[in-house]
């Protein structure tokens, strides 16, 4: 069966995958969003089910004050034959001394996951190799102390003592990239395949010049020899007219039928450069030839559709990319910012009651915001603000970061209400429009069409915003767009919302879950 790419549309960057028996397990970066690191499973590599989150309770990590696109970077998931392991990095871009690398484990990928065990090592993008001889090798990326060029990085390898969580033995620097002058040799994964140790890595940065490279050695500490075909996958040579760009940060997995696959990130630009949906997870076939992996053999680019060779597993529901309609409170797509929704949100039938926290949408705090990833370029999102207390404003928010977002908020004014549309861009706010409405429930909506978000009040357009102004190329950072509900104002004020309805504009994607992405 052919399935559309991406397999996980919307902001699911830096995918890592492993297989245990018939099941594949996958995790991605989540930055400042909580719960963090959704764990997904699939039998067919197309139909993914979120079975839990790694960071699902207070006290595991502290994201307080970390600005958008900081937080949880590039997790790796592995299985040692008995337990699942995830290793990742907490990054604070404003404080290099804060955060660091940690490991969590679980007997069941659905959780519960252990509290973090922190590893004393610098850098990002850690990974683990459970080698055939029982030894465990941790590896990751960091900036070179005395670089030959700007943003030169190196991949280090060192043995991990799994029970104590300590790195032991000598450290080995094994890679600085396949191309001299290439920035950010990152996202490394050591893989033992048919007796050979392979180092899969990205380079070129995570934007347009992104690429996948590979090297091999007899031992995890090297010396590594790069493939003569490096980079083994990139779209940078296709130019800005390519429908998929910035492919990289790959991980490899072998399916039960023996076929090999890569999961990797990529973007789908609106205009050749801007990609509000963020970095998404794609699937690419891999064949082995002459001891090296060939990505998308005979084609050389990530395919628009992938022939799995198997039928999708019946009865597995995919809540992250193939559902349309009401996003109920128990749906795993809901996320909050730097904290957990339980602190300010109470489910109410299919909707929510939100209590203002005192933090604004512009703060690097925990505002009363609950959102879901935008996963389709063209869609309709709608919610009814049923009630809002004096001194508060509540409504729909299109969020890229605290410095870049659009808010359509209802405020009480005398015997009626006022709806304001505000666009915050690079930290500066502009009012897009206001409209007075009667007291009582107010229906708010976002209609994404082409490059535009149309902001609707009771079915009438109040303002239009260029979606491209909210992507990372315009605002910086690593996130795609989230759309959700928010209540702001003095702490303790309440707002009541009906159900949030999320519907791809493409009727085929909304009808039965047969299509994962909009055109």
So which residues are the catalytic ones?
14, 186
How far is the C-alpha of 382 from the C-alpha of 374, rounded, in Å? 13
How far is the C-alpha of 13 from the C-alpha of 219, rounded, in Å? 29
- Is residue 449 within 8 A of residue 455, CB to CB? The reply is no
- Is residue 227 within 8 A of residue 255, CB to CB? The reply is no
- Is residue 143 within 8 A of residue 122, CB to CB? The reply is no
DSSP 439: S
Contacts of 265 (CB under 8 A, 6+ apart): 12, 13, 14, 15, 206, 210, 246, 247, 248, 249, 279, 280, 281, 282
Rg (CA), the chain: 23
Tokens of 381: 């999102």
How far is the C-alpha of 294 from the C-alpha of 395, rounded, in Å? 49
Residue 106 burial by Cβ neighbours in a 10 Å radius (0-12, 13-18, 19+): middle
Going by C-alpha positions, the residue among 282, 254, 284, 288 that lies closest to residue 267 is: 282
Going by C-alpha positions, the residue among 349, 347, 369 that lies closest to residue 357 is: 369
Q: What is the largest CA-CA distance in the chain?
A: 76
**Three-state secondary-structure class, residue 474:** helix
Going by C-alpha positions, the residue among 360, 367, 379, 370 that lies closest to residue 321 is: 379
Tokens of 321: 């990319």
Contacts of 416 (CB under 8 A, 6+ apart): 436, 437, 438, 439
- Is residue 375 within 8 A of residue 381, CB to CB? The reply is no
- Is residue 229 within 8 A of residue 292, CB to CB? The reply is yes
Cα dihedral sign for 307, 310, 311, 312? negative
- Is residue 460 within 8 A of residue 439, CB to CB? The reply is no
Going by C-alpha positions, the residue among 327, 402, 333 that lies closest to residue 363 is: 402
Tokens of 162: 């799994």
225 - beta bridge partners? 216
How far is the C-alpha of 144 from the C-alpha of 315, rounded, in Å? 49
How far is the C-alpha of 373 from the C-alpha of 399, rounded, in Å? 9
**Three-state secondary-structure class, residue 447:** strand
């Amino acid at each position: 069966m052919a399935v559309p790419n991406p397999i996980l549309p919307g902001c699911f960057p830096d995918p890592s995958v492993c297989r245990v028996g018939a099941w594949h397990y996958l995790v991605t970066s989540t930055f400042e969003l909580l719960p963090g690191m959704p764990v997904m499973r699939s039998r067919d590599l197309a139909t993914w089910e979120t079975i839990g989150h790694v960071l699902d309770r207070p006290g595991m990590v502290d994201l307080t004050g970390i600005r958008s696109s900081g937080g949880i970077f590039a997790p790796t998931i592995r299985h040692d034959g008995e337990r699942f392991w995830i290793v990742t990095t907490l990054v604070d871009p404003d404080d290099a001394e804060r955060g660091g690398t940690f490991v969590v484990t679980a007997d069941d990928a659905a959780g519960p996951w252990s509290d973090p065990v922190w590893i004393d090592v610098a850098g990002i993008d850690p990974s683990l190799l459970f080698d055939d001889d029982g030894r465990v090798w941790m590896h990751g990326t960091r900036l070179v102390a005395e670089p030959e060029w700007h943003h030169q990085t190196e991949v280090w390898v060192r043995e991990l003592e799994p029970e104590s969580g300590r790195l032991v033995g000598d450290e080995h620097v094994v890679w600085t990239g396949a191309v001299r002058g290439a920035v950010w040799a990152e996202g490394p994964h050591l893989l033992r395949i048919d007796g050979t140790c392979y180092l899969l890595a990205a380079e070129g940065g995570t934007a347009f010049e992104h690429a996948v490279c590979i090297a091999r050695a007899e031992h995890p500490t090297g010396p590594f020899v790069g493939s003569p075909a490096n980079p083994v996958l990139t779209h940078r040579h296709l130019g800005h007219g390519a429908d998929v760009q910035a492919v990289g940060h790959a991980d490899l997995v072998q399916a039960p039928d023996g076929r090999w696959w890569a999961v990797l990130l990529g973007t789908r630009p609106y205009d050749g450069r801007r990609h509000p949906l963020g970095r998404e997870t794609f699937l690419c076939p891999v064949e082995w030839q002459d001891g090296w992996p060939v990505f998308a053999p005979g084609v050389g680019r990530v395919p628009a559709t992938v022939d799995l060779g198997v039928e999708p597993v019946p009865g597995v529901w995919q809540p992250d990319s193939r559902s349309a309609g009401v996003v109920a409170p128990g749906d795993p797509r809901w996320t909050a910012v730097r904290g957990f929704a339980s602190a300010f949100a109470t489910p109410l039938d299919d909707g929510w009651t939100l209590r203002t926290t005192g933090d604004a949408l512009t703060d690097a705090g925990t505002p009363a915001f609950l959102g879901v990833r935008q996963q389709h370029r063209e869609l309709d999102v709608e919610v009814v603000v049923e009630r809002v207390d004096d001194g508060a404003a509540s409504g729909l928010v299109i969020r890229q970061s605290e410095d870049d977002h659009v808010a359509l908020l209802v405020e009480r004014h005398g015997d009626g209400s006022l709806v304001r549309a505000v666009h915050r861009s690079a930290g500066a706010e502009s009012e897009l429009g206001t409209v007075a409405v009667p007291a009582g429930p107010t229906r708010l909506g976002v209609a994404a069409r082409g490059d535009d978000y149309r902001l609707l009040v009771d079915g009438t357009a109040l303002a239009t915003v260029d979606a491209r102004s909210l992507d990372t190329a315009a605002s910086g950072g690593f996130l795609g767009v989230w759309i959700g509900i928010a209540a702001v104002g003095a702490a303790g004020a309440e707002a009541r919302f009906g159900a949030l309805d999320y519907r791809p504009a493409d009727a085929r994607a909304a009808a039965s879950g047969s299509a994962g992405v909009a055109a």
